[in-house]
Amino acid sequence: MSRLASTINDIANKAGASVTSVSRVLNNKAGKYRISKETAKRILKAAAELDYKPNELARGLRLKKTHTIGLVIPDISNPFFAYVTRNIQRVAHELGYSLVVCDTDENLPLELEHINLLMSKGVDGLVIMPVGQDARHLKRLVKESVPLVLVDRCFDELDTSSVVVDNYAGAFTGIEHLLECGHRRIAIIQGLANTYSNTGRVQGYTDALKKFGIRPDPELIFGGSFREETGYNETKRILSMSERPTAIFATSDLITLGALQAINEMGLDVPNDISVLAFDDTDFAPFLKCPLTVIAQPKESMGEIAVKLLVDQIKGRGKQQTQKIILKPNLVKRNSVKRLVQKEVAVAHA
Amino acid sequence: MSRLASTINDIANKAGASVTSVSRVLNNKAGKYRISKETAKRILKAAAELDYKPNELARGLRLKKTHTIGLVIPDISNPFFAYVTRNIQRVAHELGYSLVVCDTDENLPLELEHINLLMSKGVDGLVIMPVGQDARHLKRLVKESVPLVLVDRCFDELDTSSVVVDNYAGAFTGIEHLLECGHRRIAIIQGLANTYSNTGRVQGYTDALKKFGIRPDPELIFGGSFREETGYNETKRILSMSERPTAIFATSDLITLGALQAINEMGLDVPNDISVLAFDDTDFAPFLKCPLTVIAQPKESMGEIAVKLLVDQIKGRGKQQTQKIILKPNLVKRNSVKRLVQKEVAVAHA
DNA sequence: ATATTTTGCGCAAAGGTTTGCGCAGGGCAC
DNA sequence: GTGCCCTGCGCAAACCTTTGCGCAAAATAT
């Protein structure tokens, strides 16, 4: 905001009109308020000459609308979130909204801080990918009827619009595939406990095992954060188990990255020494030493849907009821899962 | 902004004081304006009870400071930019600033639009990774002394703080390595023409060739955007040349991704059929079928330095002069460059 | 000619905050 | 009893915009 920026007042002076009329002309209310063509033209001309740009701060204050939406995200360094962010920004801009981005680093207090700040700055609505272990602060937003859509992780007890992925189905299908390939000892490296996405993935894992008559072994459940170091450390532990699992289910792309690193360091080979199934896809996945078999999320559409839902809420459309959109993930088979048995045999086991 | 949000006025009422005093107490000016401990305590109590949060819009309007900085970025989907963004957001928040993120999609008019919008919204300063073919709009910002720092790409004719990478040195060293390994026919897939980063990289490429007594062949210069499809299409062209080059220099990670895809589709092998040298590193690079030899940018520090420089400008510190920070990239040798000759022989050639 | 409507425009308030300036009242010295 | 200082606090303007309401003049009707 340069100190020389021209205001509606300058225009009024220059055009010999009142600020009132200027405002009306500039907001296309000339008709409604019967401003003469004559005056309107003078005003428009003056505005152009002064290179007038409305002060959105003052505007927001008056209108209680800032055309800004807040995005609260757990970790932009995670390629999955980065992707979603990109689409959110694009669609938001197309719909006339700016995006202020806050990274919570998977930290609940920080999430609260960011949300408060965003509200203070007068955002028109929020897209939140919550850390997810607590929903009280979100409940408050709902009560104050702040336009809000949850992405990637949601709360069943919370009546909000949300767009999530069917983590359960994704994990289930993936593990099923592993089982069909003859794997029986499958380790899982989970993400942050008690979050929507983690719970679904772990549940899918255990239920798929059960379907094949295998009792899930708590010893095979590792991890506790979606981060790379978790993948690295836990994989090292897994690989040094006396009775080593034949497959690892890595529940995020960052975990996968860490796992790959550990496997590499230990001089092992995917899939011959260990099979890997990953949640989330990466652009580079097909070109890895061993192209990864993954459960891919529809990350393209998630952001887009979320913003549209949010803007509908902001505009008061679709206010009637909240929508929970559940997207289907997609198992893409590449080479990181080794087939230990013929398919027929595996089916017989079931 | 819930419609029930309490204001400084509510506090004044509740505490039986004037808004003036409330403002002063809340802004730690109680001492300066000699407010009694008594009154101050009443005010603080009322504020807490009302769960008061300042309206940053009103604040920004009055103070001409929003504690918000704008980030203008060409393409968040590019992992390099995503990384930098993340660090910018983190450091900005640590310094008390919010970040509004705008993606220009490498599109100059869109860049201008975003910048104008950001200014309208009253950002305190801008971090821009410019599209870079035109600097007139940036020149205007400089003239209006808007706090500004350019990242990744800068303009020699523009007196702004900036943090860039030594693209020339990076490319030069990389190509030198290729040459030392015995490569003589080296194709380059360049990024967006007439941008700072591209120019440096291409220049480094040609100069390194010349140093080895090789006349750069215009036929071997491909590309024209940093995007994935460029990498894909151009690689296909390169690989079907009658006199096929022995190496490809891909000037961005996205180009590299496309190149890998093309190579893969054509059933070729890196580095036996074709060597690849990439600008930018990717987390997954070490784990690729053929671990990539890359020129890695110090993406960790770039964002951090940029924000610190910007905040210094905003706060009026270091106003005295602009700083151009040039970071050194780093050649990391992995396996994607095939050694065609013994080192001694290569040196003899030089 | 007066009465009524229409046309064109602007006053002033509102939105929430910060801050220069000055006001009231108590205490003190003369 | 008059003059002065100090303490504690509030008035009102400023930041820039939008909008309900009303006012004056011109156009039309009677």
Single out the residue of A195, A333, A328 nearest to residue A251, CA to CA: A195
Q: Average pLDDT for residues B26-43, to the nearest whole number?
A: 89
Q: How far is the CA of B17 from the C1' of D5 (A)?
A: 25
Cβ contacts of A97 within 8 Å, gap of 6 or more: A67, A68, A69, A124, A307, A311
pLDDT at B319: 60
pLDDT at B4: 65
User: Which of A261, A264, A287 lies nearest to residue B264, judging by beta carbons?
Assistant: A287
DSSP class per residue in B192-249: STT-HHHHHHHHHHHHHHHHTT----GGGEEE-SSSHHHHHHHHHHHHT-SS--SEEE
Our CA-based measurement puts residue A146 at a distance from the nearest CA of chain B, in whole angstroms, of: 7
The predicted pLDDT at position A3 comes to 46
A339 pLDDT higher than 50: yes
Element (H, E) at A12: helix A8-15
CA distances from B277 to A238, B77, B138, B208 (A): 35, 21, 33, 14
Neighbours of A273 (CB within 10 A): 14
pLDDT at A320: 64
Q: Is B150 helix (H, G, I), strand (E, B) or coil?
A: strand
How much of chain A exceeds pLDDT 90, in percent? Answer: 80
Q: Do β-strands B68-73 and B98-103 pair in parallel, antiparallel, or remain unpaired?
A: parallel
Structure letter (DSSP) for residue A74:
S
From the CA of A166, how many Å to the C1' of C11? 59
* CATH number, span B66-165+299-328: 3.40.50.2300
Closest residue, chain B, to A76 (C-alpha): B86
Contact predicate B80/B251, CB 8 Å: no
- Cβ of B66 within 8 Å of Cβ of A57? The answer is yes
Strands A221-223 and A247-250: unpaired
Residues contacting nucleic strand D by the 7 Å CB criterion are A 5, 7-9, 19-20, 23-24, 26-27, 29, 33, 52, 54-55, 58-59, 61-63; B 17-21, 33-36, 38-39, 58, 61-62
- The CATH architecture that domain B3-54 belongs to is Orthogonal Bundle (1.10)
Domain A167-292+334-349 indexed as CATH 1.20.210.10: no
What is the pLDDT at residue B170? 97
Residues of B in contact with A286 (CB under 8 A): 261, 264
Determine the distance between B44 (CA) and C26 (C1') in angstroms. 27
Distance A52 CA to C11 C1' (A): 24
Average pLDDT of span B27-38: 88
What pLDDT score was predicted for residue A343? 58
User: Is B288 within 8 Å of A288 when comparing Cβ atoms?
Assistant: yes
Res A123: pLDDT:
97
Q: What is the number of alpha carbons within 13 Å of residue B220 lying toward its C-beta?
A: 21
Omega before residue A271 within 30° of 0, cis: yes
For the stretch B55-85, pLDDT in tens is: 999 999 999 999 999 999 988 877 788 889 9
Q: Which of B6, B57, B94 to mutate to test the interface with A (most CBs of A within 10 A)?
A: B57
Q: How confident is the model at residue A319 (pLDDT cuts 50, 70, 90)?
A: low
Enter the pTM of the model. Answer: 0.89
pLDDT score, position B61: 94
**C-beta separation of A167 from A197 below 8 A:** yes
> Which of B105, B117, B290 is facing A98, going by the closest CB pair?
B117
Q: How confident is the model at residue A238 (pLDDT cuts 50, 70, 90)?
A: very high
To the nearest whole Å, the CA of B254 is away from the closest chain A CA by 9
Q: Where in chain B is the domain with CATH 1.10.260.40?
A: 3-54
Q: Which of A55, A121, A144 is the closest to B98 by Cβ? A: A121
- In the structure encoding, which two tokens stand for residue B136, read together? 């007139």
Q: Give the whole-angstrom CA distance, residue B99 versus residue A123.
A: 13
Q: Retrieve residue A237's tokens.
A: 């532990």
Give CA–CA dist A265/A232, Å, rounded: 10
pLDDT at residue number A69: 96
Residues of each domain in chain B carrying CATH 3.40.50.2300: 66-165+299-328, 167-292+334-349
Which of B101, B285, B287 shows the shortest C-beta gap to A99?
B101
- The model's pLDDT over B145-201, given as tens digits with 9 standing for 90+, comes to 899 999 999 988 889 999 999 999 999 999 999 999 999 999 999 999 988 999 999
